[in-house]
Chains A and B, each alone.
Chain A
Amino acid sequence: MSHEQKAAKSETSSREPLLNRLDISKDLLKWVFLLPSVALLAFLTLYPFLQGIWMSAHDWPFAAPDHNWVGVSQYVEILSSDRFQNSLWRTVIFTGGGVTFQLVLGIALAVYLKSLTETWRPIVRTIFIIPMVMTPVATGLVWRMMLDGQVGILNVMIESLGFSAPAWTSSSGMAMFTILMIDTWQWTPLVVLIVFAGLLSVPQQLYEAARVDGAPSWAIFWHITLPQIKYFVAIAAVFRLMESFRTFDYIWLVTEGGPGTATEILNVFVYRLAFVNLDGGAAATVGIILLVITIAVTMSLFKVVDIQ
């Protein structure tokens, strides 16, 4: 290459973007662009997670200057405690029972929504999603006022119809029913929306063929609709399970985990350990256990439904 050609090439190169001039492979370049986001996410998720594991391996009372290493013995102690096992059982009832009922109700409401005309569908859909857009704290406060034994509107309405109003939070069964009622009211709309999207994706030809064959409605639903929307139902179940395990706001506001520990699900138990007992180590331990349970349940669900 002549001197003039080299000079021309150099001049051309200096006008090219920097990244074009650097000798970086595409794979490496991909990671360079991803790195800031990945680093931030890693810091925001990995650091608290690792800190939680570190705390769970220590006796970590907040109101004490020293934190002593205890290893896995804290896990053993907590897993074998009656209080934890009670809390786990309450979580199974709340999450398992609640999510199951919400899925059934959500599917039914989604099918109903799809059956509506184009005029009514957006109106009813909007009404359905109103509970979902309220923050959980606002939900808890509003329901607490409505359920109040002295001034609550629900009891006033029930008594005006000639019935005696229940004591919503005064027995373990009733308290659990009450928080399930609130949870269902707020989060069934999410199931409705997800399943509704699934229903819209079902090819109409399948229904037409079934009707031509004279299949009854229940058979169409069972053999066509449900298999077609199963992945949407699974997604709704996963979202609901993950959210349900983390429920705290309205349980704390309405029952404070009571009566006694009747509605003390694991997340409420974590809060008590951290902010009533000031036991950071125990709270972190239960938090890690809850995380493992959440991951195990959701991954199992993925496997059952064979989601790729």
Chain B
Amino acid sequence: MLKAVGASTTIGLAGCIADDAGDEDDQDSIDEWGDRLVSHAEEADIDWQQFEGETLVFGMNEHAFTDLMENFIPHFEELTGMDLEFQTFPEDELWQRVVLDLENQSGNFDGFFTGLWPSADYYHGEWVKDLNEYLEDPELTDQEWFAMDDFSDGIIDSLTYGEEEALVGMPFGVEAYGAIAYDEPTFDELGIDPPETYEELVEAARTIDESDETDRMGIASRASTDPLSTANWATMFRSYGAEWIDYEEREARLDSEEGVESLEVFSELMSYGPDDIGNFDWYRSNLAMGEGDVAMALHTPSAIGVWDDEQLERTEWIPPLPGPDGEQIAAPWTWSLGISEYSRNPEAAWLFIQFSISREANLLSSIRAWEGAESYGWAREGYVFDQDEWEEHGIKDSWVEAHTQGLDMVPSNPPAVPLDTPQNMDIMSEAALAMNSAVTGESSPEEALSSAASEITEYAQDIPEEYIE
């Protein structure tokens, strides 16, 4: 007993010492990168001190990007002479606070996380500044330094609205959903080949789930009632040839034969996962694969930001699979930073956006720059993947292929989900309820989609004319 206590104490103390040593290494890396970000910023032909003394408040999501950038607030403050505060909340709470702030025109947040799917709402509600105004101002932006060409046209277009082509957010992270992560040792052990069709994916999930040779369940994906949880199914849905709405007729089309089939397959897939898959959101899905509970995840490659190194090493990736007719469409997501229409310091807020999404910053957020650092980025695909640091940090080729090929599968007309309309979140909210009902067995896929269709048609009929091409 005494030996056990003594050994435990020794190990614990050693852990504390090691932890302290680790923290010192992290701080060295943070300082190094901080200096690097500041040096890079100083290359821009703008006066970073032009808003000295101002205070900025950014509404941030509990996210790898936030955790990373928090380390560099002091560097930004030293560079600009401004005070910067992050107010960080879980995603749905952030959304709630941002909506209230914008609706009340309070201007408590100068800038905030903006997501791709609700971006039409930001535009339609006249809630955010058109960032082109700042991009084109030579006092605020050195265009050559900021290098907008690094971003893919598709991503910038997806955040651009109206005849005036207003840019509602500057992306720092892009992701395509519906890729497949699989645990290679499990596949080798069970003699399973990487799936090339959805039928093979279902078979692989069933084999793993029913096998006694592994503790892992078959597969996990997002399946909760959150609208954003439809993203992986949305990739399957569109690849099966289904459509959410008919824009011209302003009617729901998701209950078509193709739509029902996609949901039947998705539901079957999820039956080979955790029992409470109906509660799986972004965090739970990441955890399930990251912690080794499941052997596969139907997810976005961007999920790796919070996985540990062991699971990263074991995992291989497959781009989104083709549907029955060979079609491959991927639903995208982008996190970006936007500026509130009611900010008292919009130009100053733009300086932080430039600092945090500069070439060096986006490279930093795309790699695991130090032990324990999280990663989420890759928005500057025209820059990041060519850098030595990207090569050095050893993200697998299969990941790069899944990520880049997935982004190539993102359509724009019509988009993978109706994100070009202010009704997108309403429509996908109904779709999420239908998906969740089918996955949890509350109703059949056909009944669920049929029920959602009547609600979605009502929303479709509210789409303003200017959003219908």
A263 nearest CB across to chain B (Å): 10
How far is A260 from B229 in the complex, measured between Cα atoms in Å?
Answer: 13
Across the interface, do A277 and B276 meet the contact criterion of CB distance under 8 Å?
no
B208-223 contacts to A (CB < 8 Å): none
**A-side interface mostly:** loop
Interface residue B455 (Cβ < 8 Å from any Cβ of A): yes
Across the interface, do B279 and A258 meet the contact criterion of CB distance under 8 Å?
yes
Q: Which of B124-132, B303-311, B369-377, B384-392 contacts A (4 or more CB under 8 A)?
A: B124-132
A256 nearest CB across to chain B (Å): 5
Across the interface, do B442 and A262 meet the contact criterion of CB distance under 8 Å?
yes
Q: Which residues of B contact A258 (CB under 8 A)?
A: 224-225, 278-279, 433, 436, 440
B448 nearest CB across to chain A (Å): 8
Across the interface, do A170 and B440 meet the contact criterion of CB distance under 8 Å?
yes
How far is A265 from B425 in the complex, measured between Cα atoms in Å?
Answer: 21
- Whether A170 contacts B99 in the complex (CB less than 8 A), given A259-B436, A277-B425, comes out as no
B147 nearest CB across to chain A (Å): 32
- Whether A276 contacts B288 in the complex (CB less than 8 A), given A170-B276, A171-B442, A260-B225, comes out as no
With an 8 Å Cβ cutoff, the count of chain A residues facing the other chain is 33
Across the interface, do B226 and A171 meet the contact criterion of CB distance under 8 Å?
no
Interface residue B274 (Cβ < 8 Å from any Cβ of A): yes
How far is A189 from B439 in the complex, measured between Cα atoms in Å?
Answer: 37
Binary contact readout B420-456 vs A (1 if CB under 8 angstroms, 0 otherwise): 0010011001000110110111110000100100010
Across the interface, do B440 and A257 meet the contact criterion of CB distance under 8 Å?
no
- Whether A277 contacts B225 in the complex (CB less than 8 A), given A62-B103, A148-B276, comes out as no
How far is A61 from B426 in the complex, measured between Cα atoms in Å?
Answer: 11
- Whether A275 contacts B279 in the complex (CB less than 8 A), given A83-B455, A259-B442, A260-B442, comes out as no
How far is A150 from B291 in the complex, measured between Cα atoms in Å?
Answer: 10
A73 nearest CB across to chain B (Å): 14
Interface residue A186 (Cβ < 8 Å from any Cβ of B): no
- Whether A272 contacts B429 in the complex (CB less than 8 A), given A150-B288, A169-B278, comes out as yes
Q: Which residues of A contact B264 (CB under 8 A)?
A: none
Across the interface, do A260 and B99 meet the contact criterion of CB distance under 8 Å?
no
How far is A261 from B118 in the complex, measured between Cα atoms in Å?
Answer: 22
Interface residue A149 (Cβ < 8 Å from any Cβ of B): yes
A270 nearest CB across to chain B (Å): 12
Give the residue of B125, B275, B426 whose beta carbon is less than 8 angstroms from that of A170: B275
Interface residue B192 (Cβ < 8 Å from any Cβ of A): no
Q: Which residues of A contact B275 (CB under 8 A)?
A: 149, 167, 170
How far is A278 from B425 in the complex, measured between Cα atoms in Å?
Answer: 9
Across the interface, do A256 and B422 meet the contact criterion of CB distance under 8 Å?
no
How far is A82 from B103 in the complex, measured between Cα atoms in Å?
Answer: 29
How far is A288 from B32 in the complex, measured between Cα atoms in Å?
Answer: 57
How far is A14 from B118 in the complex, measured between Cα atoms in Å?
Answer: 69
In the complex formed, the residue of A with least CB distance to B225 is A258
Interface residue B122 (Cβ < 8 Å from any Cβ of A): yes
Q: Which residues of B contact A261 (CB under 8 A)?
A: 433
Across the interface, do A168 and B442 meet the contact criterion of CB distance under 8 Å?
no
Give the residue of B124, B226, B276, B426 whose beta carbon is less than 8 angstroms from that of A64: B124
Give the residue of A63, A168, A257 whose beta carbon is less than 8 angstroms from that of B125: A63
Across the interface, do B96 and A275 meet the contact criterion of CB distance under 8 Å?
yes
Across the interface, do A256 and B227 meet the contact criterion of CB distance under 8 Å?
no
How far is A171 from B440 in the complex, measured between Cα atoms in Å?
Answer: 6
Across the interface, do B433 and A260 meet the contact criterion of CB distance under 8 Å?
yes
Across the interface, do B426 and A275 meet the contact criterion of CB distance under 8 Å?
no
B455 nearest CB across to chain A (Å): 7
Across the interface, do B437 and A63 meet the contact criterion of CB distance under 8 Å?
no
Across the interface, do A259 and B99 meet the contact criterion of CB distance under 8 Å?
no
Across the interface, do A256 and B425 meet the contact criterion of CB distance under 8 Å?
no
In the complex formed, the residue of A with least CB distance to B92 is A275
B458 nearest CB across to chain A (Å): 10
Give the residue of A64, A149, A276 whose beta carbon is less than 8 angstroms from that of B274: A149
Indicate the member of B125, B126, B226 with the most A CB atoms within 10 Å: B125
Give the residue of A168, A260, A275 whose beta carbon is less than 8 angstroms from that of B436: A260
Binary contact readout B81-95 vs A (1 if CB under 8 angstroms, 0 otherwise): 000000000001001
Interface residue A136 (Cβ < 8 Å from any Cβ of B): no
Binary contact readout B121-162 vs A (1 if CB under 8 angstroms, 0 otherwise): 110111100000000000000000000000000000000000
A145-162 contacts to B (CB < 8 Å): 147-150
Across the interface, do A255 and B279 meet the contact criterion of CB distance under 8 Å?
yes
Across the interface, do B429 and A276 meet the contact criterion of CB distance under 8 Å?
yes
Give the residue of B225, B291, B441 whose beta carbon is less than 8 angstroms from that of A256: B225
Q: Which residues of A contact B268 (CB under 8 A)?
A: none
Across the interface, do A150 and B293 meet the contact criterion of CB distance under 8 Å?
yes
Q: Which residues of B contact A277 (CB under 8 A)?
A: 425-426, 429
A45 nearest CB across to chain B (Å): 19
Across the interface, do B279 and A276 meet the contact criterion of CB distance under 8 Å?
no
Binary contact readout A56-83 vs B (1 if CB under 8 angstroms, 0 otherwise): 0000011111000000000000000011
Indicate the member of B278, B293, B448, B451 with the most A CB atoms within 10 Å: B278
How far is A61 from B103 in the complex, measured between Cα atoms in Å?
Answer: 10
How far is A295 from B127 in the complex, measured between Cα atoms in Å?
Answer: 37
B271 nearest CB across to chain A (Å): 11
Interface residue B38 (Cβ < 8 Å from any Cβ of A): no
B223-243 contacts to A (CB < 8 Å): 224-227
Interface residue B46 (Cβ < 8 Å from any Cβ of A): no
Across the interface, do A168 and B437 meet the contact criterion of CB distance under 8 Å?
no
Interface residue B287 (Cβ < 8 Å from any Cβ of A): yes
Give the residue of B125, B226, B425, B433 whose beta carbon is less than 8 angstroms from that of A65: B125
Q: Which residues of A contact B429 (CB under 8 A)?
A: 272, 276-277
How far is A275 from B226 in the complex, measured between Cα atoms in Å?
Answer: 11
In the complex formed, the residue of B with least CB distance to A144 is B279
Across the interface, do A259 and B425 meet the contact criterion of CB distance under 8 Å?
no
Interface residue A280 (Cβ < 8 Å from any Cβ of B): yes
Q: Which residues of A contact B291 (CB under 8 A)?
A: 150
Q: Pick the 8 closest A-B CB pairs, nearest first.
A: A63-B125, A260-B437, A259-B440, A63-B121, A167-B275, A149-B276, A258-B225, A260-B442
Q: Interface on B for A, CB 8 Å cutoff?
A: 92, 95-96, 99, 102-103, 118, 121-122, 124-127, 224-227, 274-279, 287-288, 291, 293, 422, 425-426, 429, 433-434, 436-437, 439-443, 448, 451, 455
Q: Can you list 6 A-B pairs, Cβ within 8 angstroms, ordered by A?
A: A63-B122, A63-B422, A256-B225, A259-B278, A260-B434, A275-B99
7 additional A-B residue pairs with CB within 8 Å, beyond A171-B440, A260-B448, A277-B429? A62-B99, A83-B455, A150-B293, A168-B276, A170-B441, A258-B279, A258-B440
